[in-house]
Structure 1
Amino acid sequence: MRKKHDLPQKTCMHCGQPFTWRKKWEKVWDAVKYCSDRCRNERKRCGSAP
């Protein structure tokens, strides 16, 4: 078992906060860009506004 501080981290493209690898992201870790659904949805809103 790995300890939490040994897991890989990324920085969220929307909020800039670091987030840690999760088991549910195991197969798609390279494609994960946002720390949460909220950040992903906010990014879409900001990008579509004029």
Structure 2
Amino acid sequence: MPNGVDKANLPSKTCPACHRPFAWRKKWARDWEQVVYCSGACRKKR
């Protein structure tokens, strides 16, 4: 039996810098509401 959640059912957002969708990561579990950019490069580019 697989553990966890199916990847298709994860929440996602759109990055305002590159306009690409990005999915929830376990690393962002505590601050998903504050995550805006998909990567450090997009955060710097703004």
TM-score (ref. length: structure 2): 0.89
More helix by share: 1
Q: What is residue 45 of structure 2 aligned with on the other side? A: 42
Alpha-carbon deviations, 1:7-45, whole Å to 9, x = none? 0000001111000000010000000000000000111xx
Query: Unaligned regions of 5+ residues in structure 1, if any?
Result: 44-50
Corresponding residue SS for 1:10: strand
List structure 1 segments (4+ residues) > 6 angstroms apart after TM superposition: none
Alignment of 1:1-50 (within 5 A): 1-43=4-46
How many aligned positions are there? 43
Answer with 1 or 2: which has the greater Rg. 1
Give me the identity figure in percent: 51
Corresponding residue SS for 1:19: strand
